[in-house]
């Protein structure tokens, strides 16, 4: 006789499991746990929209309230995925409209969202609360107007770095006068000016508003009006941060910012006039996150603002900060956890700022909690990388982009193999790594040997042969996502590690030497025609391999070819 | 007649480093004599066109298809090859840079040519700094008046308007420097700390990056000889 807890008890216990991994693990224990878990799962995460179909998801999980779906591969951010590739959300929304009438949350990343999808969701989900669109495209401000007009219980409308066709700013005025539930509004990626009085009224009547990220079109002189109406704000993004020299703007800003005693995050800062930065100083003691990646001001002004934030955990900044500015971080921002330094002039032939590997070395030495780095620079050395690795074995994410492809160690002219080798050797918890510079097969030996927790690896212009790729695929036990561009990797490593590919979410290879594809869940992108139509020795343009239970795609564009079993047999 | 024509070969521009041998080989890059790499080798190093992999030819084909080759004109410096997807920068970040390049650098440069020149002013002993726009003043006198008003609540000894005005009177200078009175100093473009008042006003506005009103006893350390 089997003793077990009543279902209700198990359900109650499962409700405490928030991580998808834990829920998935629980569902594998036994059939009854699988059944109980699937009926009480409220949140689902789909890392690749083509790995599964809406029908399969709905069949297994009938009572979902929140979905998060990712579409295009990461390299789509850099224009490597051709237009029209896919990742349309409409089939998901139309399926969910039928089966999840009580759906509350939709979070999408790198998906194509149409106005039709937005209108459908706004009219169908009566209790809809949260819409987060991250790096999405395909919709216009008309779609936003539907959301504003129809989602009576909306709490969050968060448009992060989306490409929106901006027809007008009128969409904001569609929020009804009796709409008061807004908690978070991020319109920073939009171009058009919204009606300022509509925005003011909206902010005034939503007492729970804690996040407000404005777009560039909102002028700095309007900020005090908004801040005064929302002193409870926790996250705030300015618009353009400059104006004609008028002293009362400054004093109004000072007053308004000093009234916001709960601010933790600041962003925006387009077109900054450094004279207006000090207006924020009173609000800076609580700041934990500062996004200055739009602020084209010089190092001293950047530093003056940053050092006002002793509790800073996350800093995004342009390389105007320079080595000199980064030196200030260990003294003033000891709690720094995440640093991202973006290039102000990535296509320039010569460096335009004095930012080198030294800046990163000093931060790594002096900020003991630093765990996440994204750094664009123009020179690097093995010595610096080794120092960084030794200073910060607690690094979790390390993404280094040396702008010149295949730039060697600038001191010794050697490859940067030992430097990156030190990173994977010392940083045992490393989850994500992006490499650049001159790299041979050696570095992949180090990675395969040491990077046991690595989940995502990005490589460009690296390696000499298939051995490099083979070391990664055979050695990195936790690898889920691998993206490769312009490396001399071919079929051998893929064929030898075909089983590994089944354990990963996806593999992307573009401008490599792959001719044959080892498994059936493979997409080949080739705008020149079907791979069979070219000589066998000709490599494919782009390869995207992912595991799926949904079978071949039904929405492929004409430049995507999926390799069927027969084709695999024919070519090999 | 050929013999009267200018010897074009001698006038032709070549990529030859100083000390290159004369004669027929002067057009070739003089790698051996100077030890430096010529242009073509530099390009190869960057683009790894001379691949070591077994699929040598394939790699070359593959890379050249995706790369717009750098200019082969040896008279120009090597241009950077443009590669699709590299460097990995999002489109919206590229736009910011384009806008920044289009506009003048008034936001970035404080001095010269812009319509304002805000500099920080610190007074020893004052709890916080102030900023003044030097462009709204026409003379040192106006600046001193304004600074005195700004810092009137933090005057240390004779840092009031009389104290600063006295500074302009050289006969009182030694007394001031020996005492605890204030001396206005500024940091110029080269990073040097200078005494305010030596140069014409306009030159001062262009070169001043920040102002510090020091205690007289400290100012002696500036090495000012009178």
pLDDT for B103 equals: 44
Direct distance between the N- and C-terminal alpha carbons of chain A, in angstroms, rounded to an integer: 54
Lowest mean pLDDT among A51-60, A63-72, A180-189, A347-356: A347-356
Give the model confidence (pLDDT) of A496-534 as tens digits: 898 898 899 999 999 998 887 666 567 888 877 777 777
pLDDT for B163 equals: 53
Q: Which two tokens stand for residue A138?
A: 């395909």
Q: Do A275 and B131 touch (CB under 8 A)?
A: yes
Q: Which of A78, A161, A458 sits opposite B92 (nearest CB)?
A: A161
Give the model confidence (pLDDT) of A12-27 as tens digits: 999 999 899 999 999 9
Q: Which of A163, A273, A405 sits opposite B83 (nearest CB)?
A: A405
pLDDT for B96 equals: 58
Q: Which two tokens stand for residue A531?
A: 């791979």
Q: Which two tokens stand for residue B172?
A: 């009182």
Sheet containing B182-188: order of strands: B130-133, B118-123, B208-215, B182-188, B193-195
Give the model confidence (pLDDT) of A157-216 as tens digits: 999 999 999 898 899 999 999 999 999 999 999 999 999 999 999 999 999 999 999 999
CA distances from residue B57 to A270, A488, A536, B63 in whole angstroms, order as listed: 47, 11, 15, 10
Q: Which of B80, B83, B90 sits opposite A77 (nearest CB)?
A: B90
Estimate to the nearest angstrom the gap between the alpha carbon of A88 and the chain centroid. Answer: 18
Q: Which of B59, B86, B116 sits opposite A488 (nearest CB)?
A: B59
Q: How confident is the model at residue A268 (pLDDT cuts 50, 70, 90)?
A: very high
Chains A and B form CB pairs within 8 A to the count of: 113
Task: Give the pLDDT mean for A442-448.
Answer: 97
Helix, strand, coil distribution of chain A in percent, nearest 5: 35, 20, 45
Q: Do B116 and A275 touch (CB under 8 A)?
A: yes
Q: Which two tokens stand for residue A398?
A: 């390390």
Q: How confident is the model at residue A98 (pLDDT cuts 50, 70, 90)?
A: very high
CA atoms within 13 Å, Cβ hemisphere of A223: 36
Q: What is the pTM of this model?
A: 0.74
Q: Which of A349, A404, A513 sits opposite B58 (nearest CB)?
A: A513
CA distance A405 to chain B (A): 7
User: Is B95 an interface residue toward A (CB < 8 Å)?
Assistant: no
**A139 within 8 A of A106, measured Cβ to Cβ:** no
Share of chain A above pLDDT 90, in %: 82
Task: Give the pLDDT mean for B184-205.
Answer: 86
pLDDT for B24 equals: 37
Burial class (CB in 10 A: 0-12, 13-18, 19+), B153: exposed
Q: Do B65 and A511 touch (CB under 8 A)?
A: yes
SS3 of B144, please?
helix
More confident residue, B22 or A453: A453
Burial class (CB in 10 A: 0-12, 13-18, 19+), B78: middle
Q: Which of B63, B65, B107 sits opposite A271 (nearest CB)?
A: B107
Tell whether the model's pLDDT for residue B15 goes beyond 50: no
**ipTM value for the complex:** 0.87
What is the CA angle A178-A180-A183, rounded to 5? 160
Q: How confident is the model at residue B82 (pLDDT cuts 50, 70, 90)?
A: low
- Chain B residues touching residue A458 (CB < 8 angstroms): 88
Q: Which of B90, B155, B93 is nearest to A76 (CA)?
A: B90
- Chain A residues touching residue B69 (CB < 8 angstroms): none
User: Is B2 an interface residue toward A (CB < 8 Å)?
Assistant: no
Q: Do B97 and A376 touch (CB under 8 A)?
A: no
Q: Which of A203, A201, A252 is nearest to A224 (CA)?
A: A252
Choose the most confident range, by mean pLDDT, from A342-346, A530-534, B190-194.
A342-346
CA distances from residue A445 to A394, A406, A422, A470 in whole angstroms, order as listed: 22, 18, 12, 9
In the DSSP assignment, the letter for residue B50 is S
Q: Do A485 and B51 touch (CB under 8 A)?
A: no
Q: Which two tokens stand for residue B159?
A: 């840092």
* DSSP β-ladder status, A481-485 and B118-123: unpaired
Residue of B nearest to A441 (CA): B53
Q: Do B46 and A405 touch (CB under 8 A)?
A: yes
Q: How confident is the model at residue A377 (pLDDT cuts 50, 70, 90)?
A: very high
How many residues are listed for chain A in this entry? 572
CA distance B87 to chain A (A): 6
Where residue A215 falls (left for φ over 0; alpha for ψ -120 to 50; beta otherwise) is beta
SS3 of A30, please?
coil
User: Is B52 an interface residue toward A (CB < 8 Å)?
Assistant: yes
More confident residue, B181 or A249: A249
Q: How confident is the model at residue A53 (pLDDT cuts 50, 70, 90)?
A: very high
CA distance B171 to chain A (A): 38
DSSP string, A472-520: HHHH-TT--EEEEES----HHHHHHTHHHHHTSSEEEEESS---S--SS
pLDDT for B217 equals: 60
């Amino acid at each position: 006789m089997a003793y077990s807890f009543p279902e209700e008890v198990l359900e109650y216990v499962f409700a405490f499991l928030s991580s998808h991994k834990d829920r998935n693990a629980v569902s594998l224990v036994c059939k009854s746990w699988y059944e109980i878990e699937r009926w009480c799962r409220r949140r689902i995460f789909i890392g690749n929209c083509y790995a599964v179909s809406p029908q399969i998801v709905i069949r297994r999980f009938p009572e979902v309230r929140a979905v998060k779906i990712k579409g295009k591969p990461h390299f789509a951010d850099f224009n490597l995925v051709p237009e029209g590739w896919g990742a349309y959300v409409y089939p998901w929304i139309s399926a969910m409209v039928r089966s999840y009438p009580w759906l509350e949350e939709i979070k999408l990343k790198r998906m194509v969202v149409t106005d039709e999808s937005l209108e459908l969701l706004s009219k169908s989900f009566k209790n809809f609360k949260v819409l987060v669109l991250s790096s999405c495209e395909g919709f216009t401000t008309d779609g936003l107007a539907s959301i504003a007009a129809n989602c009576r219980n909306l709490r969050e409308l968060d448009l992060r770095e989306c490409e929106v066709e901006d027809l007008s700013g009128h969409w904001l005025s569609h929020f009804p006068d009796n709409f008061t539930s807004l908690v978070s509004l991020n319109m920073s990626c939009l171009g058009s000016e919204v009606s300022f009085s509509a925005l003011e009224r909206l902010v005034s009547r939503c007492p729970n508003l804690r996040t407000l990220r404005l777009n560039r079109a909102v002028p700095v002189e309007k900020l005090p009006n908004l801040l005064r109406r929302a002193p409870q704000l926790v996250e705030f993004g300015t618009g353009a941060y400059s104006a004609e020299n008028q002293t009362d703007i400054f004093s109004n800003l000072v007053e308004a910012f000093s009234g916001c005693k709960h601010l933790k995050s600041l962003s925006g800062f387009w077109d900054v006039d450094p004279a207006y930065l000090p207006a924020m100083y009173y609000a800076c003691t609580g700041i934990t996150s500062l996004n200055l990646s739009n602020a084209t001001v010089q190092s001293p002004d950047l530093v003056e603002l940053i050092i006002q934030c002793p509790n800073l955990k996350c800093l995004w900044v342009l390389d105007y900060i320079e080595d000199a500015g980064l030196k200030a971080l260990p003294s003033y921002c000891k709690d720094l956890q995440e640093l991202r330094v973006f290039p102000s002039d990535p296509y320039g032939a010569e460096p335009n700022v004095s930012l080198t590997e030294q800046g990163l070395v000093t931060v790594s030495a002096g900020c003991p909690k630093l765990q996440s780095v994204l750094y664009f620079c123009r020179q690097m050395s093995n010595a610096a990388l080794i120092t960084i690795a030794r200073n910060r074995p607690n690094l979790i994410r390390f993404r280094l982009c040396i702008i010149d492809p295949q730039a060697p160690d600038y001191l010794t002219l050697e490859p940067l193999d030992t430097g990156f080798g030190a990173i994977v050797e010392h940083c045992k918890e490393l989850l994500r790594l992006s490499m650049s510079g001159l790299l041979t097969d050696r570095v992949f030996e180090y990675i395969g040997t040491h990077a046991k927790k690595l989940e995502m690896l990005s490589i460009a212009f690296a390696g000499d042969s298939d051995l490099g790729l083979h070391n990664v695929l055979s050695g990195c036990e936790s690898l889920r996502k691998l993206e490769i561009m312009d490396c001399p990797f071919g079929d051998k490593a893929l064929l030898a590690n075909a089983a590994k590919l089944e354990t990963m979410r996806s593999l992307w290879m573009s401008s490599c030497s792959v001719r044959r594809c080892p498994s059936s869940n493979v997409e080949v992108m080739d705008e020149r025609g079907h791979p069979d139509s070219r000589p066998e020795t000709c490599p494919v343009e782009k390869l995207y391999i992912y595991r799926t239970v949904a079978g071949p795609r039904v929405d492929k564009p004409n430049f995507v070819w999926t390799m069927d079993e027969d084709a695999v047999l024919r070519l090999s | 007649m050929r013999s009267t024509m200018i010897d074009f070969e001698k006038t032709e521009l070549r990529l030859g480093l100083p000390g290159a041998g004369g004669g027929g080989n002067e057009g070739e890059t003089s790698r051996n004599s100077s030890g430096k790499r010529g242009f073509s080798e530099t390009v190869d190093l960057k683009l790894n066109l001379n691949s070591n992999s077994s699929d040598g030819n394939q790699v070359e084909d593959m890379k050249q298809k995706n790369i717009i080759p750098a200019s082969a004109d040896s008279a120009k410096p090597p241009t950077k090859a443009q590669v699709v997807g590299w460097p990995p920068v999002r489109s919206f970040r590229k736009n910011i840079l384009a806008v920044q390049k289009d506009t003048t650098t008034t936001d970035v440069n404080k001095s010269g040519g812009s319509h304002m020149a805000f500099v920080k002013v610190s007074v020893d002993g004052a709890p916080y700094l102030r900023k003044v726009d030097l462009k709204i003043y026409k003379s040192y006198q106006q600046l001193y008046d304004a600074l005195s008003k700004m810092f009137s609540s933090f005057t240390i000894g004779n840092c009031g308007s009389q104290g600063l005005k006295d500074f302009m009177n050289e006969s009182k200078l030694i007394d001031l420097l020996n005492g605890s009175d204030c001396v206005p100093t500024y940091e110029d473009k080269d990073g040097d700390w200078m005494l305010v008042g030596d140069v014409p006003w306009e030159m001062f506005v262009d070169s001043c990056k920040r102002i510090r009103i020091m205690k007289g006893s400290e100012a002696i350390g500036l090495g000012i000889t009178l």
